[in-house]
């Protein structure tokens, strides 16, 4: 639980940085960034696996590139569910998900929140 909380904080920082970098993405406040990080963690845990299974043939045919579409769809679902977060269109959701993943990975690498490395120790 402590590790999940720390990952949500890191993801919230990544959301704020990404929203600052993109002109057509709006996060109202840092509280909205925390809510978005929590919402994205739940959507990625529960909805994304279902979407991946349902679209497996398309994902295989596209050599995995369709997963980018699924990630953008998750961002658009979060936009629909959270009033304090706005993305203007599918293209910006796709760009947001790509940049968010990169910034999140960099922050987790810097802060050492990678759970697989900690479990091995």
121, part of any domain: no
The total number of structural domains that make up the chain: 1
- Domain for residue 103, yes or no? yes
Residue 27 pairs in a beta bridge with 85
pLDDT at 4: 84
- Domain contains 95: yes
Global pTM reads 0.86
pLDDT for 9-50, tens place per residue?
A: 999 999 999 999 999 999 999 999 999 999 999 999 999 999
Q: Is residue 109 part of a domain?
A: yes
| Range(s) of the domain holding residue 7 | 2-114
Phi-psi region of 63 (alpha: psi -120 to 50; beta: other; left: phi over 0): left
How open is the CA angle 94-56-70, to the nearest 5 degrees? 15
Q: What is the pLDDT of residues 57-83, one digit of tens each?
A: 999 999 999 999 999 999 999 999 999
Examine residue 120 and state whether it is found in any structural domain, yes or no: no
């Amino acid at each position: 639980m402590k590790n999940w909380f720390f990952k949500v904080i890191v993801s919230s920082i990544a959301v704020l940085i990404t929203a600052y970098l993109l002109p057509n993405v709006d996060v109202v406040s840092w509280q909205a960034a925390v809510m978005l990080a929590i919402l994205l963690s739940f959507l990625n845990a529960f909805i994304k696996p279902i979407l991946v299974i349902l679209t497996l043939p398309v994902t295989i045919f596209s050599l995995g590139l369709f997963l980018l579409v699924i990630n953008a769809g998750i961002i658009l679902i979060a936009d629909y569910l959270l009033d304090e977060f706005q993305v203007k269109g599918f293209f910006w959701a796709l760009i947001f998900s790509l940049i968010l993943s990169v910034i999140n990975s960099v922050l987790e690498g810097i802060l050492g929140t990678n759970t697989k490395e900690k479990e091995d120790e």
